[in-house]
Amino acid sequence: MAGGDRKRTVGVIGAGMVGVTAANFLLRRGHDVTLVDPGNPGEGTSFGNAGCFNGSSVVPMSMPGTIRNVPGWLTDPMGPLVVRWSYLPALAPWLVRFIRAGTKEKVQQQARALRTLLDQGIETLAPLVRDAGAQDLVQRLGHLFVYRSLASWEKESPAWRLRRDNGIAWDEFSEDELRQLDPNLSREYTKGVLVRENGHTTNPHRLIERLVQVFQRDGGRIERRRAIGFEIADDRLTAIRCEDGALPVDAAVVAAGIWSKPLAAELGDRIPLETERGYHIMIRNPEVVPRIPTADADGKFVATPMELGLRLAGTVELAGLDAPPDWGRARILLSHARRMFPALRDDYPHERITMWMGHRPSVPDSLPVIGASRRTRDVLYAFGHGHIGMACAAKTGKTVAELISGEQPGIDPAPFSPQRFS
């Protein structure tokens, strides 16, 4: 066994990108691993994201100036943020923490911590991708950020400073150079920034399916069950309690994305986890596709070239877990995309588009929750990755596998401590 610790029987709760990655790293360390999920693997939030593995995503959602932008966003029906007003009372405590997390000093600490999870993310995932024979699903072509005006570029200078301070390099392109880089882009864009270290998957769902296949091939088990709690004796975990009975284990990873909150609460950890709902619209056989993922800095959405067409993903809707989707939010992405690529159509027949809504599991300080529960050190949390769960999954998965194996983790997990909220 790696780390000299004993072989453990581990239950990983949740078969999204984070859980599946953790399960694979645990299996590679010789543990007996069962993935537990009531649904099909990869059909939660990991299904419909923009697929970007961006090492450059160190910029927290709450920045010193963010609050000043909010009124403008909220009053713009095409804007990147909406709040359902009926949900505001329930949301208020999270919002207060969110605003408080956005001071200059805190943001610098958060970015530094995020970089430890994001740096070398693609390299960390690579051995699993290779084993799964899924190299065709992961590309490293960079990520292009495009700006409609120098003013909007300058407005984002604090974010780019944070990236530079954390070792992220980029190339800048003028209006003409941008045309050469992608002739399909609207002439409205005046500035482009290419981060070459970034990559993407051309199909997040299929990538997870392949990672699950290799996990099962190598002896991992997957059980279609819903976890509802834990059985603990003398501070040691003895089983995961599922709706249909117990699953005996001596260690567990909670990687159930937004649905992790009640499981952590069972163990005495009150985590401020909130859903930042996001949407995508996919166009099959689109008239144009960018060669690499392209983000519109003003519209806050990403156009990603995928196996099944062009995926436009983004926007934040604060409306809780239970409200029905507002498909108008997905259609807005289409209007934005037409302004990005004028060759796209105004509208598409039903059979050429699909729409999706998902729940980003978000914590006010933009740092995921990684570490042992308050009640027992046998349960480790690996959730709360918000906007960047695909990009962070490899390092998070490896870290929890190291902790369960009694190894010295490759990153410092302290900034991600579940106990930082109390």
Ligand X SMILES: Cc1cc2nc3c(=O)[nH]c(=O)nc-3n(C[C@H](O)[C@H](O)[C@H](O)COP(=O)(O)OP(=O)(O)OC[C@H]3O[C@@H](n4cnc5c(N)ncnc54)[C@H](O)[C@@H]3O)c2cc1C
In which order are the strands placed within the sheet that holds 199-201?
A: 52-53, 199-201, 138-139
Q: Which is nearer to ligand X, 19 or 286 (CB)?
A: 19
Among 12, 289, 295, 390, binds ligand X (CB under 6 A): 390
* Angle value at C-alpha 172, between 165 and 145, nearest 5 degrees: 85
388 lies in the site for ligand X, by CB under 6 A: yes
CB of 199 to ligand X, least distance (A): 10
15 lies in the site for ligand X, by CB under 6 A: yes
Separation between Cα atoms, residue 72 and residue 70, nearest integer Å: 5
Length of the chain: 422
14 lies in the site for ligand X, by CB under 6 A: yes
Separation between Cα atoms, residue 291 and residue 141, nearest integer Å: 8
Report the candidate in 287, 407, 369, 410 with the shortest Cα–Cα distance to residue 18. 369
Tokens 């436009």 -> residue = 312
Among 8, 115, 143, 280, binds ligand X (CB under 6 A): 280
Among 259, 341, 381, 416, binds ligand X (CB under 6 A): 259
Q: Produce one character per residue of 106-144: b if its CB has 16 or more CB atoms within 10 Å, e if not.
A: bbeebbebbbbbbbebbebbeebbebbebeebbbeebbb
44 lies in the site for ligand X, by CB under 6 A: yes
Are 11 and 386 within 8 A, CB to CB? no
Are 35 and 41 within 8 A, CB to CB? yes
13 lies in the site for ligand X, by CB under 6 A: yes
Separation between Cα atoms, residue 346 and residue 212, nearest integer Å: 38
271 lies in the site for ligand X, by CB under 6 A: no
Looking at 41-49, 108-116, 168-176, 284-292, which segment touches ligand X (CB under 6 A)? 41-49
179 lies in the site for ligand X, by CB under 6 A: no
363 lies in the site for ligand X, by CB under 6 A: no
Looking at 7-15, 66-74, 244-252, 340-348, which segment touches ligand X (CB under 6 A)? 7-15
Report the candidate in 263, 338, 299, 181 with the shortest Cα–Cα distance to residue 12. 263
313 lies in the site for ligand X, by CB under 6 A: yes
Task: Using DSSP, state whether 360 is helix, strand or coil.
Answer: strand
Among 391, 400, 401, 411, binds ligand X (CB under 6 A): 391
46 lies in the site for ligand X, by CB under 6 A: yes
Q: Which is nearer to ligand X, 54 or 376 (CB)?
A: 54
Report the candidate in 211, 235, 146, 210 with the shortest Cα–Cα distance to residue 184. 146
Residue span 364-383 as binding mask against ligand X, x where in contact by CB under 6 A, dash where not: -------------------x
Q: Which residues bind ligand X (CB under 6 A)?
A: 13-19, 36-39, 43-46, 49-52, 226-227, 255-257, 259, 278-280, 313-314, 358, 360-361, 383, 385-391
